[in-house]
Structure 1
Amino acid sequence: MSARPALTAVLGDEGLRLFFPLAALHAALWPFLWVVVHGFQLPGASALPSGLWHAHELIFGSYGAALIGFITTAIPEWSDTQRLRGRPLFILVGLWAAGRTAGFVGADALAVAGGIADLLWLFALPLYVAAVSWRKRTTRLAAMVGWLSALALTGATARLGFLTGDADLARTGLHLAALVFLGLLALVLARIGVPVTNLVLDPSEETSPYRPHPGRRNLAPGLVALVTAGSLAGWSPAVTAYLTIAAGAAFLDRVAEGFVGREAARAEILALSGSSLLAGVGLLLVGAARLGAPFPETAALHLSLMGGLGLGVLAVFAIAGLFHTGRPLPLPRAARVAFALLVLAALARALPDLGALPSPPGPPHALAATLWAAAFLVWLKAYWPFLSTPRAPDSGGC
């Protein structure tokens, strides 16, 4: 009997094995500490509002790790190239973790070192994808290179604001980074939604019954890009409001494509459609708030970023976590429970501020933070045995 490989060798075999658990741990712990333990204050923050660190760590901490895991796993599969293994992945882990040292307690003194580390991995991702695209002589990855480059530039803008103590600059960079992540979400959902839906409709993979209209594929990311460009150009709040509403409608159009018969009730389809639904409704409400609706824009943003983006990330964790460890659909019960907990967390965070529900008892947003942490911990508990087990020789991808 051959010896079982070391855990580091198993985790270093593929990006998702290493970064998805890290992303889940960070997503579970950071908001809970911020809300419940620290009471919306961070012990190391002084120059800038603690809320900016909170937004930064959600975007570049939790979602950043998820993005690294996704890119280092999906790009080799999409391009039919060798995946990154071992040392390159652990270097990326080190850079990502170094960036979290400052954000964990909002330590202004560590902002320089943390910022450099974050910028290194942020710019490494588009360079990696561009290098793969160049070697394969393909333009199919050009959109991904563009979005990743935009994320790196917005991350640099936010970090410059942190380093200079300019709260407005940091806030602008974080807002633009959030839009870029929503654009990436739209791009990823368009890319993975078709094969997942076809697999649900025909598990034998002999046919491809689901073929959405090709003109809709880039509608949502294109409109999010227009909103981002308008924000950068300084267009009026009314103009960006209507553009944001249009982007939200494009996400809802993606939801309509999820109606594929009774299989639309499958957890895999519901999670992907639900991600578009929450992102789209959130963007619609952001636009409404800018046009004078009686609720804060931050509540609507939480619906898009916690609900839409969070559910999309968790859906990718659940689906790719099966396929890349040699396990078939359907999703395990724990994944469905995690989806429900995350949706409840997003609603508990956003609906009271939108005036749709009374505030729950207890400290502000403590219920939302607890449900959010539970969602990622439930997924991690169920999937850790899969991810920490050596890859089967005949296991495919997604």
Structure 2
Amino acid sequence: MTDNTRKFSTDALFSLGFRPFYLAGAFYAAASLLIWVAYLFDFVELQGPFEGSLWHAHELIFGFAVAILVGFLFTAVRNWSGLPTPNGKALAALLLLWAIARIMLIFDAGPWVPIIDLLFLPLAALGIAVPLIRSGNKRNYFTFLLMLLLALANGAFYAIAYDWISVDPNTVFLIALDVFAIFITVIGGRIIPLFCNNATGSKRAQRHQNLEYAIVTGMVLLLLSDLAWGLTDDWAMPRAGFLLALGLLHCTKVALWRPQITLANPMLWILPLAYSWLPIALLLRAASLAGAPIDQILALHALTVGSMGGMMLAMMTRSALGHTGRQIIASKVETFIFIFVTLGAMVRVFGPIVMPQLYLLEIAISAIFWSLAFGLFFVSYWKILTRPRA
């Protein structure tokens, strides 16, 4: 290791999208959940334009999650296309734009809030659309199209928040979560069996293209049905049947990966485990619509905390190690990161089902586990992501 690799470097930090956005996203994931819990227990007040639960939902999706997504896609698209994605000053400017919006939403900053926040996703989408289109990489055009859909959802949320349109904001959040679920479905379906087979030296993890097509089609139909009916009970039984079938297809997909072959390697077992929270979310929504005493909000947290949180940390650790020239091997740090986010999901989803009388306490415990996971990533990967490649 040279002296240069031991020093903080802005050139290194802004050399590729995963470096600044993984760090910023991880810090905000931990901090925003602690702020949310402090708000729930009346320790702090939010001065921004949104009521507390709306701020929490908005910032989970359009604050933390999009930051990690952008960091991942800026890095992946460069590999897919062979062309550069935003780096240097352009990348720093995008990060600053994202960060300013986050601060403005905590403190009341007037009409500038939507202007600043709504600029970020279209600019980020442009940053991946240009290299994909120039390289003719049509297989991955869906990435910037889904990002533009997220941008539209964010715009719709502001229109609702400022009373420009009358729509349930939960419908907007649900659509945005469906977009992330599609990302997990497609990207996870490509890489998880590949990583499992490469790392174990086997071909036991299988991927069936027709099953992939069926599941992706189902996820798009789910997005359309959520656009029509949101979290209402309209057409409850047909929708429950559809969610049940879609959830079971996802379960079949996971089973074909032979997840038992990953158990000796934390960098592997977190992948099918995190993905599995997606069918859990679908099955819980199906049960709720069918009349079970389960709030659909618990299903959404299976998706956000379990699947999104778990998959993001799995890919953040893996790509951060790989793209900085390190071996993709789990230390105790990575193992604890994965355990903490999994415990956070279990407490948040199943705690209220088993012990509903402890709901607020369960939210707090889940948030602590979540913040430990992302906080540990931030602290442990700071040097890795702010210094030149090893």
TM-score with structure 1 length normalisation?
0.87
**For the residues of structure 2 that align with 1:258 and 1:335, how far apart are their CA atoms?**
22
Unaligned ranges ≥5, structure 1:
393-398
Which structure features the higher share of helix residues? Answer: 2
**For the residues of structure 2 that align with 1:358 and 1:170, how far apart are their CA atoms?**
25
Give the aligned partner of residue 57 of structure 2.
55
Q: CA deviation at 1:360?
A: 5.2
**For the residues of structure 1 that align with 2:260 and 2:346, how far apart are their CA atoms?**
27
1:90 to 89, 92, 103: 92
| Deviates most, 356-365 or 218-227 | 356-365
**For the residues of structure 1 that align with 2:281 and 2:366, how far apart are their CA atoms?**
17
1:369 to 367, 370, 382: 367
Q: CA deviation at 1:38?
A: 5.2
Give the aligned partner of residue 379 of structure 1.
377
Q: CA deviation at 1:294?
A: 0.7
Query: SS of the residue aligned with 2:64?
Result: helix
Give the aligned partner of residue 256 of structure 1.
255
- 2:27 is aligned with what amino acid? L
- 2:196 is aligned with what amino acid? T
- 1:367 is aligned with what amino acid? I
Q: CA deviation at 1:125?
A: 3.1
**For the residues of structure 1 that align with 2:282 and 2:269, how far apart are their CA atoms?**
19
Is residue 46 of structure 2 the alignment partner of residue 43 of structure 1?
A: yes
Query: SS of the residue aligned with 1:118?
Result: helix
Give the aligned partner of residue 67 of structure 2.
65
| Deviates most, 363-372 or 56-65 | 363-372
| Deviates most, 373-382 or 316-325 | 373-382
Give the aligned partner of residue 266 of structure 1.
265
Q: Highest relative contact order (Cα 8 Å, sep 6+), 1 or 2?
A: 2
Seen in structure 2, the aligned counterparts of structure 1 residues 186 and 266 have a Cα distance that, compared at 3 Å, is same
Identity of aligned residues (%): 26
Query: SS of the residue aligned with 1:141?
Result: helix
**For the residues of structure 2 that align with 1:196 and 1:120, how far apart are their CA atoms?**
35
Give the aligned partner of residue 336 of structure 1.
335
**For the residues of structure 1 that align with 2:36 and 2:114, how far apart are their CA atoms?**
20
- 1:379 is aligned with what amino acid? F
- 2:291 is aligned with what amino acid? G
Q: CA deviation at 1:362?
A: 7.5
The superposition leaves residues 35-75 of structure 1 with CA deviations (integer Å, 9 ceiling, x where unpaired) of: 135537743257x5421111000001111110110111111
Report if aligned partners of 1:345, 1:368 keep a CA contact under 8 Å in 2: yes
Instruction: Supply the RMSD in Å over aligned alpha carbons.
Output: 2.6
Q: CA deviation at 1:363?
A: 4.2
Unaligned ranges ≥5, structure 2:
none
TM-score with structure 2 length normalisation?
0.89
Query: SS of the residue aligned with 1:140?
Result: helix
Q: CA deviation at 1:99?
A: 1.9
**For the residues of structure 2 that align with 1:3 and 1:139, how far apart are their CA atoms?**
39
**For the residues of structure 2 that align with 1:142 and 1:362, how far apart are their CA atoms?**
42
**For the residues of structure 1 that align with 2:243 and 2:289, how far apart are their CA atoms?**
10
Query: SS of the residue aligned with 2:162?
Result: helix
Report if aligned partners of 2:22, 2:316 keep a CA contact under 8 Å in 1: yes
Residue-pair matches, total: 383
Give the aligned partner of residue 312 of structure 1.
311
- 1:158 is aligned with what amino acid? F
Report if aligned partners of 1:241, 1:287 keep a CA contact under 8 Å in 2: yes
- 2:23 is aligned with what amino acid? P
The superposition leaves residues 318-338 of structure 1 with CA deviations (integer Å, 9 ceiling, x where unpaired) of: 111110111122222211111
